[in-house]
Amino acid sequence: MSTVSIRGYSSSPSVAAGESLSFHVSCDEPGDFRADLVRLIHGDTNPVGPGFKEVEIESSINGTYPASAHRTQSGGYVQVADDAGDLAPETSFGIQLYLWATTPARARQGILSRWTDDDRRGWALSLEEGHLVFTVGDGDNTVSVTSDRALFAEAWYAVSAAFDPATGQVSLHQTPVINSVNSVFGPVFPIDSTFSGQSARSVVSPVVAEAPVIVAGLAESGPVDGRTWVTSPYNGKIDSPRVLAYGPTAADHRSLVEGRRSRGEELAHWSFSEGTGPGGIPTDRVIDMSGHGHHGYCVNQPDRAMTGWNWIGREENFVHAPDQYGAIWFHEDSLDDCRWPSAFSLSVPQDLRSGVYAVRVRQGDAEDYIPFFVTPPAGTATAKILVLIPTCSYVAYANGQIMQNADAGQAVAGHVPVLDQRDIELHERYTEYGLSTYDYHVDGRGVGYSTWRRPILNMRPTHRQEFGSIWQFPADLDLIDWLEVHDYEYDIATDHDLCREGSDLLKRYNVVISPSHAEYTTWEMEDAWEEYLSSGGRGMYLGSNALYWITSLHPEKPWVIEVRKGETGAKAWQARPGELYHSTTGERGGLWRNRARPPQKIWGTGFTSFGFDHSGYFVPLPDSTDPDTSWIFDGFSDDERIGDFGLVGGGAAGYELDRYDLSLGTPPNTRLLASSYGHSENYTVVPEDMLFPHSGLNGGESSLVRADITYFSTADGGAMFSSSSISWIGSLSWNDYENNVSKMMHNVLDRFQSDEAAPEV
Amino acid sequence: MSKPSLSDPRSIRDRQDDWNEHFDRTRRREIIELITDEVIAEHAENPTGYRNFHSPELQRVLNYMRVQPVLGKYFIYAAVPWSDYRIATIHERGEAPVLLNGHHYKSEKEAMHGVFLLRIEDIKSSSEGDIQ
C-alpha cells in the first residue's frame, strides 16, 4: 500500500479547440515530473475485454517540469480583511454570536477570531475540549475565560464575550436558545448549560495580530506569501457574528438571548443571509451590516442558506424568510478548490480533434492521468454524432468513499467490495482530495457541494469502482472504444458546455448520446434536451438513473455543483428540515420527479431499481416485431436473449435500471421493445416507488425491478432510444464486438445519424 | 443506573446500545444455525449468485454479514488487479487499512469466499461467551 503519489487536476472539465486550460500538479517527491498529452479510448483492464487503450498526442506541453508538493487548505471558513486593525481595538470591545456546534468535543476549534496562533496574539473565541473559551493575548501573556458548561451538540446557544483593557479581564456568557425546531432536542429537555463568568485581572494589553478576522477557524500565523492558512477548523453553524465597540454586559447578553440588538456601536456585523434574492444567495461574499465596510468572503464553500437560531419551522424556503436563515454551516473537511499553482497551460490547437483526453504525468513509479474533454471549436460541429459526457455526475461522485464509510455499503453492493490503491489513498488523504455527494462531512452533514478542481481519483481511465466494476468515466470509455473500433465520427461535449450553451449545442447534431449514468442534471440541461428532442433531435440514452437529482452549478464557480438530497429517492443522505432549497439558485432540491419533471417525460424511462452483485439480460416483447420498430432488431432471431453477457456484472441489464411508466410521463407513443430478467434479491425497488414498504419489493418478486428498452418518435423526424441500464455499454466489446447489444447499437445509431427522419411511431 | 446529565453532554450514553447488543446476540444464534456445509459450499461455488440466486438460508447469512458496522469490516484489496487479491480491514478516515497476513487469492470471487469464511469464524467466536 504505497502512499507516494503524483496527482493533478485541470482548471475546467472541458476546453474548445482553439482555447486553453491550466493543469495543476503536486508531487510527493522533489525533482522533476514528465507530462504527456494522450487521447483515451478504453479504460477497463478486465482481461476478458480489449484492455486499456490510449494514443499519445504530439503537443507543446509534452516535456519535463519541476516537481513541487502543494499544500491544500481544507475546511470552510469566512475571511475578513482588516488591514487597518479596526477590529482589534485598544479600548473595550466584545463579540456576540449564535452557534450550533456539531462536534464540540472534537479537537480545538476556532469560532470567531482575529488571532495568530503561532505567537498567540489577538483575540479568539474557540472551543476546547467541549467548552467555550475566550482568549486575548499580546504575544507575551494571554488571559482567558472558560465556560464550566460543555456545549451540547446541535443545540443553539447565544454567546457574548468581552475584554476590558483597564483590568485586563475577559468575560463570557453562554445561554441555550432552543425552540421546537432549531435544535436536535426540544424545550422539554431541562437542559442546564448556562454560563456567566470572567477571568482574574491580567496584564495583557490588546495588540493587532497580523491576521484577518476568521470565522470558523484560527489563522495559523501571519500571511505566508500573501496567503493566510487556517487551522483549528470549526464544525457547526454560526449565525450573526458581531464585533462590538464595547464589552457586552449581562444585560446586553439577555438582549441577545431575546433576539434584540443591544446598545452601542457595532464595529462589524456579518449577516450571512444578506444578499438573498429570488435566485438564492449564489456568492461567496459575506456582508458587513455595521456600515464600516468589513465585508468578507467564504473559502471552501461552507453550507449557505442554513436554518438559523431563530428558525421557527413555518417557512422552509430561505428565499421567503432570509431573516430566519442567518446561519452558515462550516465543516473541517469541505473543499471547493485545491488552489494549487498552475504547472502549465495547454493551448488546444484548432485542428485537434474533439475527444476524451488526459495529461499523463509520471514521476518515478508514480503515475496519474488527468482527464479532460476537448470540444470542437466554439459554435461548430465536426461530426453528426455528439457524445454528451455527464461531468455534473462525475463531480457528484468525485472521490466517493461509500464502501469505506457507510455501514450499509456492502449491503447495497450485494458483495464484499474490492478496493485498490486509489481507494486507500483517498481514505488516508481525504482532507487533501475532498469528499463526494455520497459522503458525510465528519460532523454528520451530507456533502452538498462538490468540486472539479482537485485530483479526482475515481475518475481515472483504469479505475474500478469499490463495488467491483468500472463506473462512470472509465465505463463511458466503453462507448468511446466502440465508436472508435467501428469508425464512427463523433464529437464530445460535457454537461458544463450544455449548461452554458443550451439546446443550441445539441441542435448541431443529428444524434446525441448520453452514456452510462447522467444522474445529476440542471434545469437548463433538462430544457435543452426537451427543446432538442421536440424539434427533430434524436437521442440515445445508454444508461440508467439519469435526470434524477436536481443539480446547480455555482454561478461564480461553475466547477462547483450543489445538490440537496431529499425528501425521497435512493440517497446517501437527506437534507435537514428547512434546508432542501439550493443556496446557489434558490430552487427546491431533491428529485426532478418531485418537481413534475420525471425522467420518463424526456427520455421515456426513469430510475426503478438497483443492485451491484451481477447483471441480468433482456427478453424481447411484442413491440420488437412491430413493423414500425422491428428495424431495431434487424439480424436478430426470434426471442433471442439480449445482452446475456458483458464486462459489467456479466449482463447488459444491470447495476441500475430504468422503466417505462405512462403515469410518470413516458410519451404515450413509446414502444416497449424488451425488458430485463435475472435480477437478484439485492435489487430493490427505489424508495420513491415504495408507499407502504413491504417484503417482496425486490428482484424476482417485483415487476418493477427491470430495465426497459424503449423507442419513441418526436416531431420533425426526431426520436429517442433508451436502453435503460448502466451495464449496457459494458457488453459492447464482448466476443470481439460480435454480439447482439453491439448489433442493436448499429441498427439505431446508423438510422439516427443519417439526415433522414427517424421512423415514426 | 446513572441519571442522564442535564449539564454534561459527555456523560450521556445512548441506551439504544443495550437493545442493539441484545438483538445482535439473538441474531448471531440464528445465523449460526443457518451456517451448514451446504451453505458454505453454495457460497464457494457462486459467491455473487450469478444466474443462480442464493438460497434463502445463504441470503439471510449474507444480509447479516453485510450490515455490520463499517469500522473493522473486511474488504478485498486488489494488490495486483486480476492476479493477487488480499483481505484487509477498514478503519477511521485518515487511518491506513490493515492487511491480513496469509490471505492471498487469485480472483475477486475466491477472495469473497475467503472473507465469508473469516466472518463465519468471527460470528462463532463472538458467540462463545453468550448465555444460551
The chain-wide mean pLDDT, for chain A, equals 96
- % of chain A residues with pLDDT over 90: 94
Q: Is residue A177 within 8 Å of residue A309, measured between CB atoms? A: yes
pLDDT 10s digits, A255-297:
999 998 777 899 999 999 999 999 999 999 999 999 999 999 9
Query: Is residue A4's pLDDT more than 80?
Result: no
Task: Count the alpha carbons within 13 Å of A165 in the hemisphere toward its beta carbon.
Answer: 14
Q: How far is A649 from chain B (nearest CA, A)?
A: 8
CB-based contact (8 Å) between A317 and chain B?
no
A679 close contact with B: CB closer than 8 A: no
* Contact with chain A for residue B96, Cβ under 8 A: yes
**Cα angle for residues B81, B82, B87 (degrees, 5° grid):** 65
Residues in contact with B20: Cβ distance below 8 Å, sequence separation at least 6, in sequence order: none
| Mean pLDDT score, A204-233 | 94
**In contact, A757 and A717? CB cutoff 8 Å:** yes
User: On the CB side of A333, how many CA atoms lie within 13 Å of its CA?
Assistant: 24
**Distances, alpha carbon B15 to alpha carbons A236, B21, B22, B71, in Å:** 25, 10, 12, 21
Does A170 have pLDDT greater than 90? Answer: yes
Instruction: Kindly provide the ipTM of the predicted complex, given to two decimals.
Output: 0.94
Taking only Cα atoms into account, the Rg of chain A, rounded to an integer number of angstroms, comes to 28
**Burial (CB count <10 Å: 0-12, 13-18, 19+), residue A691:** exposed
The residue-averaged pLDDT of A747-756 equals 98
Whether A410 and B112 lie within 8 Å, measured CB to CB: no
Is pLDDT above 90 for A81?
yes
Residue A630 burial (10 A CB sphere; 0-12, 13-18, 19+) = middle
Nearest to A404 among B10, B49, B90 (CB): B90
Which residues are bridge partners to A657 per DSSP?
Answer: A609, A725
d(C-alpha A35, C-alpha A84), whole Å: 45
**CA-derived radius of gyration, chain B:** 18
Q: Is A677 on the interface with B (CB under 8 A)?
A: no
What value does the mean pLDDT of chain B take? 92
Quick check: A318 pLDDT over 90?
yes
pLDDT at B3 over 80: no
Model confidence at A3, pLDDT cuts 50, 70, 90, reads: low
Q: Does A404 touch chain B (CB under 8 A)?
A: yes
Report which of A700, A697, A701, A720 is spatially closest to residue A710, judged by C-alpha positions.
A720
Q: Is A24 helix (H, G, I), strand (E, B) or coil?
A: strand
Q: Are residues A542 and A515 in contact, defined by beta-carbon separation less than 8 angstroms?
A: yes
Mean pLDDT throughout B46-65?
96
- For position A450, what pLDDT does the model report? 98
pLDDT band of A206, cuts 50, 70, 90: confident
Q: What pLDDT score was predicted for residue B132? A: 47
pLDDT at A635 over 60: yes
pLDDT score recorded for residue B4: 66
Residue A516 corresponds to which cell in the numbers above?
452510462
Is residue A420 classed as helix, strand or coil in its secondary structure?
A: coil
Chain B, residues 15-34, CB within 8 A of chain A, namely none
Flag if A130 and B50 touch (Cβ within 8 Å): no
A150 interfaces chain B, CB cutoff of 8 Å:
yes
pLDDT at A431: 86
Q: What are A36's strand-pairing partners?
A: A360
**pLDDT computed for residue A106 by the predictor:** 96
Any chain B CB within 8 A of the CB of A132? no
Please count the residues of chain A.
Answer: 761
In this structure, the number of other CB atoms found within 10 A of the CB of residue A224 comes to: 10
Q: What is the 3-state secondary structure (H, E, C) of B28-75?
A: HHHHHHHCCHHHHHHHHHCCCCCCCCCCHHHHHHHHHHHCCCCCCCEE
For position A1, what pLDDT does the model report? 60
- How far apart (Å, rounded) are the C-alpha atoms in residues B24 and A756? 64
Greater confidence (B4 vs B79) lies with B79
Residue A431 to residue B48, Cβ atoms within 8 A: no
In three-state secondary structure terms, A673 is: strand
**How many pairs of residues across A and B have Cβ atoms under 8 Å apart?**
119
Does residue A422 contact residue A457 with C-beta atoms inside 8 Å? yes
Print burial letters for A176-196: b (CB count within 10 Å at least 16), e (below 16).
bbbeeebbeeeeeeebebebe
Q: What is the pTM of this model?
A: 0.97
Tell me which chain A residues have a C-beta less than 8 angstroms from the C-beta of B47.
415
Give per-residue pLDDT as tens, A489-544: 999 999 999 999 999 999 999 999 999 999 999 999 999 999 999 999 999 999 99
pLDDT given at position A284: 98
pLDDT at A2 over 60: no
Q: Count the Cβ atoms, other than its own, within 10 Å of residue B108.
A: 20
Going by pLDDT thresholds of 50, 70 and 90, the confidence category of residue A30 is: very high
Asked if pLDDT for residue A709 goes beyond 80, the answer is: yes
What does the pLDDT average to over A148-171? 97
First to last CA, chain A: 56
Q: Is the pLDDT of residue B130 over 80?
A: no
Predicted pLDDT of residue B5: 75
pLDDT for A638: 87
Which single residue is written with the C-alpha cell 442534471? A521
pLDDT tens by residue, A572-599? 999 999 999 999 999 999 999 999 999 9
Length of chain B: 132
* Percent of residues, chain A, with pLDDT higher than 70: 99
- Among B50, B65, B97, select the one facing A650 at the smallest CB separation: B50
Mutate to test the interface with A, among B62, B64, B68, B80 (most CBs of A within 10 A): B62
User: Is the CB of A176 inside 8 Å of chain B's CB atoms?
Assistant: no
